[in-house]
Amino acid sequence: MLQGVIYRGWLTGLRTTWILGKVIVPITLLVSLLKHTPVIEWVVHLFAPLMGLFGLPGEAAIVLALGFTLNLYAAIGAMFSLALNSPEILILCVMLSFCHNLFVETAVAKRLGLNSAIVVLVRFGMAFIGGVTLHLALGNQVGAVAGTYTHLAYLWEMPLLSVLGEVGGTIFKAVWQLALIVIPLMMLIQVLKERKVLDKLAVKMTPLMRMLGLSEHAAIPMLAGIWFGLAYGAGVILEATREKPMEKRELYLLMVFLVLCHAVVEDTLIFLPLGVNGWYLLAIRLVSALVLTFLLARLWRRQAGRQTVSKGQIEM
């Protein structure tokens, strides 16, 4: 019954919130405390030139490092603790959407038989291109708060209760807003999984698969990745490719699309508490994935055609 499905999704949402909270709380606590020490200023000065390429303040390097190596939730925990304006948040969200949780998600790609270095290079490359492109598009709207931490009151200069109150409020806000997003999301995903919605959608995706140079066998893995992400949907992706093996070229096309556009519901919604426009973020990810995958498919088709012609001429 639908009530049972929703209840199981609610339990999953609570469990997921608890698990993710254990990541966000210590990160938020650490960064909130570091804001009142010279460490943030050192990070600002050290990474300001590199972050300047994206129109970001130096402390944004902390967000990117946490997101790249750990996951989005760790990065979001840091973003809650930093003073960033809306354009800067959008740039960070786009960069993190393209490149995050590299250790886990690259391991999934490796299990599929793909070259880990190529997958990581694609993700870093798209994060860099996305960040620079958005910075140029947004112009002088970014960078307005760079140097926010040059005149901080350090821990030893502030009343302890004031610091604890600020940190506690930041942590509560982060966890509460996370729960408001994650629990309904898990309920929705549970319904989609148990009602076999992905199977029904896959049948209607054949034209899109052909346009992207993929067979109908790639539809289920693609939908699993789009809805559940590379990490959460790894089981579905690996099982689908095991039952219906695909060519290496097709696997690369599938992974290129998914590393740019996966977990679109969850990844978009969890950024909303930061004030980012979810439609902008979703559109950027989807268009990037479609365009790059389409171009690669065309390039490989053309290359394969040339090789076939050359082989025929040699045989003649």
Chain segment 53-77, per-residue pLDDT in tens: 999 988 888 889 888 877 788 788 8
Chain segment 267-313, per-residue pLDDT in tens: 888 888 888 888 989 999 999 999 999 999 999 888 876 666 555 55
Give me the pLDDT at residue 294, please: 93
High-pLDDT (> 70) share of the chain, %: 72
> Which residue ranges in the chain fall short of pLDDT 50?
142-152, 155-156
High-pLDDT (> 90) share of the chain, %: 15
Give me the pLDDT at residue 57, please: 87
Give me the pLDDT at residue 156, please: 46
Contact 84, 52 (CB under 8 A): no
| CA 156 and chain centroid, separation | 37
Q: Where are the alpha helices (DSSP H) in the chain?
A: 2-34, 38-52, 60-69, 72-80, 86-98, 102-111, 116-138, 160-194, 197-203, 206-211, 219-232, 234-243, 248-260, 264-271, 278-315
User: What is the Cβ-side half-sphere exposure of residue 98, based on CA atoms within 13 angstroms?
Assistant: 26
